[in-house]
Structure 1
Amino acid sequence: MSNCDSCSSKGNCNSEGTGCGGKLEPKYGKIKHIIGIISGKGGVGKSTVTGILATELSKAGHSVGVLDGDITGPSMPRFFGINNKRAEMIQVGDTEEIKFRPVKTSRGIKVISLNLLTEQEEQPVIWRGPVITGVLKQMYSDTEWEELDYLLIDMPPGTGDVALTIMQELPLEGLVVVSTPQDMVSMIVKKVIIMAEKMGINVIGAVENMAYIKCGKCGEKINVFSKKSAKEHAEHLGIPLLAEMPINLNLVESMENGTVEKFLEESNEYEELIHNFKDRIM
């Protein structure tokens, strides 16, 4: 249990949307676990891992929400095939305050993304850092999450303003770090891990994505980017390995068709990921 007597925010909890320790709390719901998914650079499958984790947690019977924190490059609506839908903006009582009603996927996962709040998903965001972080905090605090077991935040890559804001101001329980088996990528990912350590954020573990392809005839694993194993890369990073994930064209096809949740419901390929993730959380 936390010791409120020693807390710097004693007496100010829940004022102006802050909870214990001055962290932002959602206005319209309660969330048990808030987990960030991050990478050192783009293109390594961070959003894919976020979507797979969300779906696997939902399959296990948990209520799940996803906050698309990559404001300038949002992709979670595309992952779930809900990019043609729009989140609702609802006036709160007689005030000028607005809250967001997230879009639900076919499994009932609640998703909020800037791409669900703009008229066209191709519309670019041409904002400076303070505006971006302000919008992110508003989407987190003003969304109608209701009761969630897990909120997964798909964070932008790197160690910039948004990542810093999430680590400093949101009550993160931990981070899942996504990488690929390449020394250059591992070097960049290490920067994120060191940043998390400096911020006092728990790093749950690493997901080694695109680690191999599987031969369609014999089932042999073939390394694509490196001869080193995923375990060796995780040891270099100094964090536990949650899973190594292959390049999976069937998964990619299901994402393109908007049927990824159905594909994951019928697949047991990601059981290692969800098992190790929950072991490190519970």
Structure 2
Amino acid sequence: MGQFDHPNIIRLEGVVTRCKPVMIITEFMENGSLDTFLKKHDGQFTVIQLVGMLRGIASGMKYLSDMSYVHRDLAARNILVNSNLVCKVSDFGLSRVLEDDPEAAYTTRGGKIPIRWTSPEAIAYRKFTSASDVWSYGIVMWEVMSYGERPYWEMSNQDVIKAIDEGYRLPAPMDCPVVLHQLMLDCWEKGRSDRPKFVQIVNTLDKLIRNPGSLKQLANNSVWEDPFTPEFSIGTVEDWLDAIKMGQYKEHFSSAGYVTLDSVMHINSSDLGNMGVTLVGHQKKILTSIQSLQTQGTHVHV
């Protein structure tokens, strides 16, 4: 098998032994897949570190695009991370070589596609281009800035397709700079010709890294909103935690004595830490939601 020569592309070689299948040898990436790595370190990186990861992924995708490759399965689960936080594009099982024409497309008639990461035209017409990889890159940006949150949460694939077709786009993750969410939205333009090229994405991220002050303005929406979940139409602590995707902490709240919505209204970060909610990102998400509960009390049945 071939080997890509770029610092943000995973290197691999194929080995064939007598009477045995092909074995693939890859370089060792100490931190494993990006999505799992981010979930384990929720809230522990600076914005500049996250942008550096995104820049590395974009650089690798620019290289593939320049070589007329379309990846077709770009997602945080297919990015590997080494001990220096260098991110490398991997898993080329669905990748294909396009013609030299930059507008060329790879068309497939069947097979499963990762709906949540796939552009509308690729879902509808099975046409994959570098522009459809750019759409997927926008989803990867969202995954990185949300520390591995599942795109579109618990929505079904059909609901995702319908929502995208009606113009819905993922809101900015908590504490996400405006400029980064805008870049995501640019990647999610309906018309593929309206999306930025990977070279433009790399240049944009380079400018942000050189001018970190541009990352200080955060997007207004600090709570991740599921468009198919009624706004805080809940009656119990368990319902509330499920609604904000923090259901894994139900027992933590119950054991600490927080069994009614009224009792959680004045919880602070120290309280969360004492009950075992130690990830900074999860603390921020819960505390932000508590603020919303306080201001939107008319929607809560206490």
TM-score w.r.t. the length of structure 1 is 0.25
More helix per residue: 2
More strand per residue: 1
Structure with higher Rg: it is 2
TM-score w.r.t. the length of structure 2 is 0.24
